[in-house]
Every structure is written in C-alpha cells, then in structure tokens.
C-alpha cells in the first residue's frame, strides 16, 4: 500500500513514550485526519483502545510492541518504518454489537472487538438462558459467566476460559461458558458469524449479572443480544513474516 503520511499514538508507559519521541525525532508525522496509517506504540490493551478510539476514521492501524505480550503488535524498531508500512499485510476484523436491557428497562449498545462477556456480580452463581437465532439452546446455564468471542478475541479471555482458538477469516464466533456448574459437560459452541446470541438472566434480583463489551460495562442486566456487525471493518497491518493469521495458527500449537 502507498504510505505518504502516518501518525503515531502511544500508551502512557515509559517505553511507549520513549519510542514515540524516537519516531517523532526521525520522521515527519502528521495528525490523524491527514494520515494514511495510524502507528500505535504499546501493548495489546493499548491496541484495543486505539481500535475503539479511531473506529470511525477507517484508517489502517500498525502496532509496534512496547508492552508485554504484544500478540497484536509488530516488533518495535525505528528503522525503515515507511518501508515496513508499505509492504505490510492487511487483516480485516469485524466487531460484535452488544445490546443490553437492564432490570430497570434501560437499553444500551456497545461494540466489542474482542468479546462480549456476562459475569456474576455477587458470590452466587449466575443463571442464564442461552438462545441462538431465537431457539433456546441452554435453558439454564449455572455459571460464573459466559462470553461470545470474535476470531481476533479468541486468544484473549476466551482462551483463558478454555474456549477454542479461531483463525481469522473463518466466519465463526465462539460461545464459551465461564466456570460452568450446570450443564457440567457443556464446553460451549462454535457459531456462524451471522448468528444472533441472546442471553436472558434468570433470578435477576437474587443473582445479578453484568455485561461487558471489551471495556464497556453495564450492570444489573435482564437480557443481552450479541451479533457481528459486518458494516464496521477494522484494518490491522502486520509485517509479512509475522501476520495475525500466522500468529493465531501458531498459538494452536503452543504447549
């Protein structure tokens, strides 16, 4: 891709701020509106924050790791930044849309790039009815919570909850219980990306539940619907030798 101008954003960590100063000293950068590419310096958390912040700009984002894990980031270097941007591979991601209704009847919407998760708010386990495309699939899930993960988010919270890793481009969502007590042997499901998942909270006052779309939280929910929003596209850039599809594939063979 042709890259004439790029902008740089960085997390507040000392390493990211130091990298920001290095790049600004060596290259002529610009504002977001005039940029062909957004370069993000930080870790995976900052990359997620950057994707949300610039969701409506339509600019591809190229991350360089100045955090810890850096699963969504490229290796940091101040050398040949423009050349790396020009030959980077593009991956397209679509978020899921969460629509919640609280016990008071309030409606809220939020987008999640990684996952939508429902979590118990008190010491008592949650009781949740799970439906897919209007058909009840789990009449009563007794659990700490349950989540719907995108392919990009399948290696995050979903993996920690023993959910499957999903390759990009597979058009699949992961439906994964969190510490399920009943049904004891249910380990979740893989769903087509166009599926709509609905969660109904049972015994709402006795067993309150919150819903989180990435880092947007709504408490005391009565119901939640989750569906992929194909109208919103996020473009991430990766060095050819270390693109996101290859990382997700490698993760499935990591001991």
What value does the mean pLDDT take over residues 42-64? Answer: 93
Q: How far apart are CA 202 and CA 4, in angstroms?
A: 55
Catalytic annotation, residues: 44
Whether the Cβ atoms of residue 40 and residue 10 lie closer than 8 Å to each other? yes
Residues 144 and 198 in one domain: yes
Asked whether residue 129 is domain-assigned, the answer is yes
The structure tokens 């399948």 sit at: 154
- For the chain, the C-alpha Rg in angstroms (whole number) is 20
Residues 74 and 103 in one domain: no
Instruction: Strands of 43-87 (E only): list them.
Output: 61-65
Q: How far apart are CA 214 and CA 212, in angstroms?
A: 6
Model-level pTM greater than 0.95? Answer: no
Residues 89 and 29 in one domain: yes
Asked whether residue 87 is domain-assigned, the answer is yes
Residues 194 and 238 in one domain: no
Identify how many contiguous H helices and E strands the chain contains and give both numbers: 5, 17
Asked whether residue 159 is domain-assigned, the answer is yes
Residues 218 and 238 in one domain: no
Task: For residue range 2-19, list pLDDT tens digits in order.
Answer: 778 999 999 999 999 999
Asked whether residue 1 is domain-assigned, the answer is no
Asked whether residue 137 is domain-assigned, the answer is yes
CATH number at 57 reads 3.40.50.10330
* Six token digits for residue 72: 């969504």
Helix, strand, or coil here: 159? helix
CATH number at 218 reads 2.60.200.30
Our count of domains for the chain comes to 2
Residues 72 and 88 in one domain: yes
In this prediction, residue 255 carries a pLDDT of 67
Q: How far apart are CA 22 and CA 41, in angstroms?
A: 11
Residues 83 and 105 in one domain: no
Asked whether residue 33 is domain-assigned, the answer is yes
**Is 60 exposed, middle or buried (CB count within 10 Å of its CB: 0-12, 13-18, 19+)?**
buried
Residue 169 has pLDDT above 80, yes or no: no
Asked whether residue 116 is domain-assigned, the answer is yes
Neighbouring-strand partners of residue 132: 135, 197
Phi, psi of 235 (to 5 degrees): -110, 120
Residues 109 and 76 in one domain: no
Residues 205 and 219 in one domain: yes
In this prediction, residue 36 carries a pLDDT of 94
Task: For residue range 136-152, list pLDDT tens digits in order.
Answer: 999 999 999 999 999 98
Residues 59 and 170 in one domain: no
Asked whether residue 117 is domain-assigned, the answer is yes
Residues 66 and 82 in one domain: yes
Task: For residue range 96-125, list pLDDT tens digits in order.
Answer: 999 999 999 999 999 999 999 999 999 999
Residues 126 and 222 in one domain: yes
Which domain does 78 fall in, by range? 6-93+233-251
């Amino acid at each position: 891709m042709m890259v004439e101008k790029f902008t740089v954003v960085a997390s507040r960590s000392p390493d990211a701020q130091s990298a920001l100063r290095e790049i600004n000293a060596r290259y002529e950068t610009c504002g977001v509106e005039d940029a062909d590419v957004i370069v993000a310096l930080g870790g995976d958390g900052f990359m997620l924050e950057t994707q949300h912040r610039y969701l409506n700009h339509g600019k591809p984002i190229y991350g360089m790791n100045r955090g810890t894990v850096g699963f969504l980031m490229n290796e940091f270097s101040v050398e040949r930044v423009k050349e790396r941007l020009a030959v980077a591979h593009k991956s397209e991601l679509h978020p899921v849309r969460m629509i919640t209704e609280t016990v008071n009847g309030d409606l809220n919407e939020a987008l999640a790039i990684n996952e939508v998760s429902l979590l118990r708010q008190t010491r008592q386990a949650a009781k949740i009815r799970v439906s897919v495309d209007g058909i009840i699939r789990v009449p009563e899930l007794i659990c700490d919570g349950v989540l719907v993960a995108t392919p990009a988010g399948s290696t995050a919270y979903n993996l920690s909850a023993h959910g499957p890793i999903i390759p990009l481009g597979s058009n699949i969502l992961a439906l994964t219980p969190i510490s399920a007590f009943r049904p004891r042997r249910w380990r979740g499901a893989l769903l087509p990306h166009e599926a709509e998942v609905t969660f109904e909270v049972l015994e709402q006052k006795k067993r309150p539940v919150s819903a989180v779309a990435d880092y947007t939280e709504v408490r005391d929910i009565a119901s939640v619907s989750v569906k992929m929003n194909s109208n919103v596209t996020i473009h991430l850039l990766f060095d050819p030798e270390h693109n996101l599809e290859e990382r997700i594939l490698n993760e499935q063979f990591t001991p």
